[in-house]
Chain A
Amino acid sequence: MQDLTDLYQSVILDHNRRPRNRGKLPTANRVAHGDNPSCGDQCTVYLRLDGDRIGDISFEGSGCAISQASASLMTLNLKGKTAPEAETIYAGVHELVTTGKVDEDNLSDLAALAGVHQFPARIKCATLGWHAALNALKGDPITATTETHKD
């Protein structure tokens, strides 16, 4: 096994201990829920679309440090973005957590998720919140489940 400090970097531990934008968003006009049935992790993403931009975003749920930190980082990175911009950022995150390749120009603090790729069982933890957010952006209220999407 790789060193666990690659997976549990200080950014991850910090976001796990003090998650940003956690809780319901009273002004939300989009909500979507994500489930990982194999482990019981859950994540609900609330977002307010102002025109075509994400005016505000929050999450609540329960799960391991990786899933909580990734969802917290997600809210910071998606605020103010349009749906196509969010998809581009997620594409980078997906690449990061599956291959470990860091796009230095665009990913910033999300690079802390690079260690996930060495732990294939944890990729779904890292992407759960992102799938819920993309579903919310699509106006798709159905539950995102790790059993129906890849990674």
Chain B
Amino acid sequence: MNPPWPNVRADFPVLHQQVNGKPLVYLDNGATSQKPRSVIDALVRYYERDNSNVHRGLHTLSMRATDAYEGARTRIANFINAADPAEIIFTRGTTESINLVARSWGHAHLKPGDVVLTTEFEHHSNLVPWQQAAKASGATLKYVPLLGADGEGGLDLAALDKLLTPQVKLFAFTHISNTLGTINPVAELCRKARAVGAVTVIDAAQSIGHIPLDVRQIGCDFLAFSGHKMCGPTGIGVLYGRRDLLDQLAPDETGGGMVVNVSYEQATWKPSPERFEAGTPNVADAIALGAACNYLDALGRDQIAAHDTALVKVAMEKLSALPGIRIIGPRVGAERSGLVSFAFANVHAHDVVTFADEDGVALRGGHHCNQPLMRKLGLTSTTRASFYLYNTEEEIDRLVASLQRIQKFFAG
């Protein structure tokens, strides 16, 4: 179960180090992925050669920076098969992207009596902004239930059909659950939402770097993701929006770069994407995100998805054999993304993470920005192992050995 690309681990400088005297096993990819040399080089090259402000200067460096920045926008549009680069708005990440829709779209369209629909297993970033939008507008926020005592049944599609009334103005849902590993049937959800005239927003933070993603095939209205979970830098993300929707939307932030005409009394806005990118944008990280798209496509997103699937299959088989473990999300053998969350009856997740770290294994422990879901499942925290293109079966064995040591220690 080694990565299908020869020497792919050599592309990631950070992987080649010892942690607590043991070779690093990085299994916290759901939180952030590591960066290949080509992405790091793109950042360095920009700052060493092209650094300049964009869209303003007529000098050579500014033109180079502008070309590279807009080239990255086009590259990302191609990466998700958007119809038009103007549908790609650069943001700080998924959270800012969703907040932009919640505030701009929510302010313009939501009113008392309307319903905003989301699911019981959203990351806080796709939950709290809708709570705020509902509070501000007087709309009601409703949740599509999750099935199964361990959340193994996924989204309750029968309940969704009942909840999808003409009062629903917007349906926001995750593509892949960061806690459960559940892969939502996003195209089907968009189709159902469209039938009642609801706008759709997809949180693609966990899917963008892991599986092929085509916004036109999915049929969504908005889609949000972060660069840092797909081999790109932190601080850069994207809001995709259908062009006709974006052009009707008022900006959330105003200032330089997004205006056509300004007087002492008023201002008029440029079209998308500039309308939503007030101020000097994050040029370097946008360019490096374009480099990340190139890196992932050179490997092949089908192959990345296949490797994720193969790793998680092995992990599910080996982890489920540990005594006293409770794995949440899809059962062994069922479709799931490349991550596993689990809990032990007598060892808290933070103790697990501390001990695994002593073995050089990086895991995540906690509520995974999913507090309501944890409460629903009767948990306060879980430990999560999340895989990516550079992980190996040997690393899963290191994880399992570490967990066995932890169980033995706490059993006394």
Contact = CB atoms under 8 A, between A and B. Distances in A.
A13 B351 CA distance: 11
A3 to B, nearest CB: 9
Contacts, number: 50
A68 B381 CA distance: 15
A111 interface: no
B366 A38 contact: yes
Interface residues of B, number: 21
A39 interface: yes
A1 B20 contact: yes
Contacts of A16: 410
B194 to A, nearest CB: 37
B350 A125 contact: yes
B366 A8 contact: no
A62 interface: yes
A130 B4 CA distance: 52
Contacts of A62: 348, 380
Given A7-B354, A63-B348, A64-B348, A40 B380 contact: yes
Contact of B354 (A17, A63, A119): A119
B295 interface: no
Contacts of B355: 4
Interface in B333-359: 346-351, 354-355, 357-358
Interface of A: 1, 4, 7-8, 13, 16-17, 38-42, 62-66, 68, 119, 122, 125
Interface of B: 20, 346-351, 354-355, 357-358, 365-367, 371, 374, 380-381, 409-410, 412
Given A39-B350, A64-B348, A64-B354, 19 more contacts: A1-B358, A4-B355, A8-B409, A13-B410, A16-B410, A17-B346, A38-B366, A39-B365, A39-B367, A40-B374, A40-B381, A41-B350, A62-B348, A63-B348, A63-B380, A64-B351, A66-B351, A119-B354, A125-B350
The 5 closest A-B pairs by CB, nearest first: A64-B350, A64-B348, A40-B367, A62-B380, A1-B20
22 contacts: A1-B20, A1-B358, A8-B351, A13-B412, A17-B412, A39-B365, A39-B366, A39-B367, A40-B374, A41-B350, A42-B380, A62-B348, A63-B348, A64-B348, A64-B349, A64-B350, A64-B351, A64-B354, A65-B347, A66-B350, A68-B348, A122-B354
